[in-house]
Structure 1
Amino acid sequence: MSKARKTDLVESIKEKGKTIEAEMSFFDHLAELRIHLIRASIAVIVFTTVCFFYYDFLFDTIIMGPHKPSFWTYRMMCKVGEYFNMGPDFCITNIPGKIINTEMAGQFTLQINSALMIGVILGFPYLLWEVWLFVKPALKDNERKSASGFVFYASMLFIIGLMFGYFIVAPLSINFLSNYSISPDIENTITIDSYFSSVATLTLCTGAIFELPIVIYILSRLGIMTPKFMREKRRYAVVIILLIAAIVTPTPDVPTMLTVSFPLFLLYELSIAVSGRVEKKRKKAEKEFYAN
């Protein structure tokens, strides 16, 4: 066998070895990810089981809360309206619309679905922790240090978003939609599935929206998002936020709209600051690299 053929054979064996090693590494990572997902699923199942057996409190107090005039948000609105002399329209004392069930297994399905949803919400911080444990070994020391607070900040933002969605966005939206009528001949009779879907969607979507600084941080680290771009698009963000506030508020007065829109404005400005900090660190690192 010629020397050239021997060299080709050796190179071929090396390349094959690298391929096998990469494939083994890939499947090892999948096995590791599977373990983390199983642990997160077990946590969700535990929380879901607890919610299922304590469903009376969950349903009467949590799920049906925004449909009751005694809900915390409505009581605070009455006090604020009375203090600032905003008139009786600002005080919500009645939520019209009868909630019914139209399916044979509707209430049982509702109990399972709502318990599962709240179980996922309660298990979300632990899910983030498992994701962090999976990603952490692949990060460099500086990346690991800069992302060390990922689980805490992401969990806190999600919880704050849930609270804002549940106590502000959901009750104001329910009041608005329940009182909205195009004809006095049409009576609002709401199915329990529709009501629960509305509360869950508004609450979870708000929680997801509050993750904006985390998303901007990741996009900024990848070089996709810049603070300059976000500042240039601020006017569009303002219009979108005001539209959202106008839709969910029960009255068109400015104080109520500001109550809903102000946290969203603050969130957008916080995202700009996060992106600016990432860009500043990246430029500093590039400057040090070229200096050396």
Structure 2
Amino acid sequence: MKNFKNKVAAITGAGSGMGRELAIQLAEQGCHLALSDVNESGLAETVRIVKNRNNSVIITNQKLDVADRSAVFQWASQAAKDHGKVNLIFNNAGIAFGSTIEGFEEKDFKRVIDINFWGVVHGTQAFLPYLKTSGEGHVINTSSVFGIIAVPGTSAYNASKFAVRGFTETLRQELDVMKCGVSATSVHPGGIQTAIAKSSQINESLKSLGLDPSHAKDKMAAQFITTPKKAASMILKGVRKNSRRVLIGPDAGFADLMQRIFPGAYQVLVGKLLLRRMR
């Protein structure tokens, strides 16, 4: 897919951050949009911004919890009906949660997995038939730098993003074998300046790691160095190049390199470095 003009893109988590920037940049390139988010006010703001940038593209929007499998399939069916086709699905929605493994409750861990991983699975399965029918499709799944390396205090997030990476790499291999006109890319952002850190849940168990839960969100957000605009641009470039993996930000590039060079020892280095900076 060398350009996005007159294509149709579905985006989850479009109410803010990377999802909003993807919508803006795709619309500027003539791409029609099916947008979704659990946050209706944020989604409405994205629609308003996009229409101001390019009022000629067709935009539909839907309040959606990606953990709800039937709702995701209904949205995919409606998007294909409204637009006549769907070429791209950006499974971008996600949440974060801070806790030690000893300290989390099952419901909190499960919610992260349901959104970050199962949301990607639901979106992929729901839209894949429509992407194949379009004759030119692409699945873009958002993993994380924490789908390449693990860090202390974010076991649920790490688990979900490692799962997205494995799922997407398997998907890409299957699509390559099928030669069906559809491809897939795994996206690994480093620290992106979005609201995910400040909106994350943090529990008191982080005190056992020497962290102050009341300041953990601000400390984490301070490490985020890449803008959503830059991230969206890199993702779309990766789609045009049909990249298997897109690393976003110098921190993601460094983490990937460190994991390749020190596949075991990186755990000691990252744990000490990150905790020291967070403290």
Instruction: Pick the TM interval, shorter chain.
Output: under 0.3
The structure in which a higher percent of residues are strand is 2
- Could you say which structure has the higher helix fraction? 1
- So what's the TM-score if we normalise by structure 2? 0.28
TM-score when scaled to structure 1? Answer: 0.27
